[in-house]
Amino acid sequence: MGEFVSVEVADQIATIRLDRPKMNAISGQVQREIAEAAAIVDGDPQVQAVILYGGERVFAAGADIKEMAEMSYADMAVHSRLLQGCLTAVARIGKPVIAAITGYALGGGCELALSADFRVAGESAKLGQPEVLLGLIPGAGGTQRLPRLIGPARAKDLIFTGRHVPAAEALAIGLVDRVVPDEQVYTAALEWAATFVGGATVALRAAKQAVDQGLETDLDRGLEIERLAFSGLFATDDARVGMRAFAERSKPKFTGH
């Protein structure tokens, strides 16, 4: 894989690991490597769940401010597409994705966590969108994914103030889903990811797409997205295996077809 982003697969769980000392700043190179990693795990039929991890010390403290400070408007008009695109690639991975958050997940790091389906945080983790303190706004999905997750008023509080949110508050407002001792973050994410291994991967992909696409439209259109995805699954082997196993009171053995 890349210089700063790697993909490791074990027991059908892929870990996308950021490793750019000291704080996993998300530079242009890291953004490209994240997009490449997302494509790899999405296209690998052996991968059934994905973990985003920045290591024991920090998830990602944000974008590379030194790099961005040298950019003009014209530069950023082009670069912002890469910035958003790499996290959209993560959000569109057709498998359950869990962010394992240690230390700081700020700015682009918080936005990376928001692109996951679930978030597990350590007790001392801090999340936030501090871009306003630099005279900016979130540019990699923070103004869109954050209010969809925790509601507009709470999202505005975080974005307008730029404050760091401790793990306990993040859990209370729905910004993270679980809080565990710091040293257990990756293990907890791994255990959660393991619950999806052996599942109906085609149905999981369809469910994720239906939920995510449905949130982007009105209820009627969302119901139509669901209906088409639901009907389409009746053309899969997994659906036949699952329903037959239910009738026979046995455990289904899904094949991903």
Residue 36 to residue 6: CA distance in whole angstroms: 10
Report residue 256 as tokens. 């991903």
Pairing of strands 97-101, 118-122: parallel
Residue 168 to residue 172: CA distance in whole angstroms: 6
Name which of 167, 179, 189 is nearest 55 in CA terms. 189
Q: Where does residue 241 fall: left (phi above 0), alpha (psi -120 to 50 degrees), or beta otherwise?
A: alpha
The residue from 3, 56, 70, 111 that is catalytic is 111
The residue from 8, 131, 191, 226 that is catalytic is 131
Cα torsion through 64, 67, 70, 72, rounded to 10: -70
CB 152 within 8 A of CB 96: no
Active site residue 131: yes
Name which of 88, 86, 107, 71 is nearest 30 in CA terms. 86
Active site residue 224: no
Run of H or E including 108: helix 108-114
Any idea which residues carry the catalytic annotation?
Answer: 111, 131
